[in-house]
Amino acid sequence: MSLAGKVAIVTGGSRGIGRATVLKLSALGATVVINYNKNEAEAKAVLQALTEAGGIGQTIQADISQLAEAQRLVDETVKSYRRLDILVNNAGITRDKLLLQMNEEAWDAVINTNLKGSYNCCKAAIRTMLKQRAGRIINLTSISGQAGSGGQSNYSAAKAGLIGFTKALAREVGSRSITVNAVAPGFIETDMTAVLAEEFKQKALAQIPLERFGKPEEIAEAVAFLASDGAAYITGHVLTVDGGMYMM
Ligand SMILES: NC(=O)c1ccc[n+]([C@@H]2O[C@H](COP(=O)([O-])OP(=O)(O)OC[C@H]3O[C@@H](n4cnc5c(N)ncnc54)[C@H](OP(=O)(O)O)[C@@H]3O)[C@@H](O)[C@H]2O)c1
């Protein structure tokens, strides 16, 4: 598998699944733009790891929940590298609460980052990909969007919406050899899940046939495959990577 000569953007590349994805795409030869929102130091550390391993890339701060910032992220990338082959819409947040206690701010923040953020980045990137008559878009959804998750109605709605968005866009741009797919992680060990109560984690663990949580690198493998030539005939697909936690 090689991504030599390809240019990729990974949103939320400073931590967790995004970080692992940046390093995997870079190891396969892609030039990678590491997007982040707040954690400049962590983004710079990812860039350092990438360059020490012989890769090429840069960091770009942008709040992808804002269309103008997503557009700037894409414009700066294309200005630097003259093309954009792979867009990984990974940036995401949670604001968990039962609906009764969930305020409008928590609803809007999660929808605006996880769902609208992916719209923003795709909207910003699609013209370049259409012109190239090639491109790979990979959206990070979740098994919470497939099965629904109590205490996460905002997050489940955003991630389910992202699956519909993935399939609709796949139909729109397939004639230009652009594929649009989603990866649906289960329970992965990152900052996002580190804050969860131990009791909740144990209950989740009991539902995983492979009897362990996933690692960010295991999600990065799936993203890299969907970005590769080997996945040229796969589009509109949701690839679940969850140790068997959610089976349809
Ligand atoms: N971990 C899991 O178990 C799991 C399961 C299913 C799906 N997922 C999905 O996988 C993706 C990555 O999750 P993770 O666990 O790796 O999360 P994480 O460790 O909390 O990292 C989140 C990343 O998103 C970035 N980000 C957040 N809001 C942003 C914004 N408005 N603009 C740009 N970047 C933003 C953060 O940047 P800063 O560092 O600058 O804050 C950070 O790099 C998310 O979409 C998540 O919903 C995760």
pLDDT at residue 248, rounded to an integer = 77
**Mean pLDDT across the stretch 69-89?**
98
- Collapsing DSSP to helix, strand or coil, 162 comes out as helix
Cβ of 65 less than 6 Å from ligand 1: yes
Which residue from 87, 90, 112, 215 has its CB within 8 A of the most atoms of ligand 1, so it is best to mutate?
90
Dump pLDDT digits (tens) for 163-200: 999 999 999 999 999 999 999 999 999 999 999 999 99
The C-alpha atoms of residue 25 and residue 10 are separated, in whole angstroms, by 9
Dump pLDDT digits (tens) for 14-56: 999 999 999 999 999 999 999 999 999 999 999 999 999 999 9
Overall size of the chain counted in residues = 248
Q: In the 8-state DSSP scheme, what is residue 234?
A: -
The C-alpha atoms of residue 226 and residue 4 are separated, in whole angstroms, by 15
Cβ of 208 less than 6 Å from ligand 1: no
* Ligand 1 centroid distance, CA of 192 (Å): 7
Q: Domain spans of the chain?
A: 7-240
Q: Which ligand 1 atom sits nearest the alpha carbon of residue 43?
A: 39
Distance of CA 112 to the CA centre of its chain: 14
pTM above 0.95, yes or no: yes
* Ligand 1 centroid distance, CA of 36 (Å): 9
Q: Among residues 36, 81, 155, 246, which one is catalytic?
A: 155
Phi-psi bin for 134: left (phi > 0), alpha (psi -120 to 50), beta?
A: beta
Q: Is 81 a catalytic residue?
A: no
Cβ of 145 less than 6 Å from ligand 1: no
* Ligand 1 centroid distance, CA of 99 (Å): 22
Q: Which ligand 1 atom sits nearest the alpha carbon of residue 113?
A: 31
One of 3.40.640.10, 3.40.190.290, 2.60.40.1930, 3.40.50.720 is the CATH number of 7-240, namely: 3.40.50.720
Cβ of 64 less than 6 Å from ligand 1: yes
pLDDT band with cut points at 50, 70 and 90 for residue 67: very high
Buried b (16+ CB within 10 A) or exposed e, 198-223: eeeeeeeeeebeeeebbebebbbebb
Dump pLDDT digits (tens) for 118-158: 999 999 999 999 999 999 999 999 999 999 999 999 999 99
pLDDT at residue 11, rounded to an integer = 99
